[in-house]
Amino acid sequence: MPPREARVPRYIAVEGAIGAGKSTLARRLAETFGHQTMLEEAADNPFLEAFYRQRSKNALATQLYFLFQRVRQLDILRQADLFESGRVADYLIEKDRLFAETNLAADEFGLYQMIFERLMPSAPRPELVIYLQAPVDVLFERIQRRGIAFEQMIERRYLEQLNEAYSQFFHFYDDAPLLIVNAASIDFANDDKHYNELVEYILQVGPGRHYFNPTFF
């Protein structure tokens, strides 16, 4: 445990590839800390199912819809009083560009970049970023188990690309304190011991990079 006085971060962002458990952990942390949630609404994206059926044809529309959705949420956050009510988000806005680089052709990415730079609000930086790291086998199994219809079309190769992109991104990330969590064998949703130990660790995290990789017995 890092030797630091316990403090609840007012703005937490939880990140990780599809199936890592971002939304589940974000909701539970918000309930624990009395914060509001700021969650991606993937089911609202009318292009997402078509994207999983034919990625190259539908990537730009899918990505722009997510960008507009995230910018709108961050604009609300920018105007909010974080000291009155904290936030737990299940994404970083920088993740939008990560997905765009993975999915868009070069000319589409150039257009996306122009729109991103024009729209990007001046939003508060998270006080803590939690990166849920898990191997592709675990992600794929979780996606299959939760049974969301359009996600069943996700290809293993796509998960491999995303996992690699996330690893590269967080290898260099230093914009906020970063907690890298081995999420492969930790059940935040159903195991209170796992969850409570993570919460205790979060309350002690200071600046820099940290790792949560406990061995449970």
Query: In 3D, which of 161, 168, 175, 66 has the Cα closest to residue 115?
Result: 66
Give one word for 8, left, alpha or beta, with left for phi > 0 and alpha for psi -120 to 50: beta
Rounded CA-CA distance 190/209 in Å is 27
Indicate if 96 belongs to the active site.
Answer: no
Q: Rounded distance, CA 180 to CA 170, Å?
A: 9
| The one catalytic residue among 75, 81, 90, 191 | 90
Who's near 108: CB < 8 A, 6+ residues apart?
59, 60
38 strand-pairing partners: 89
- The tokens describing 176, both together, are 């906020």
Q: State the catalytic residues.
A: 90
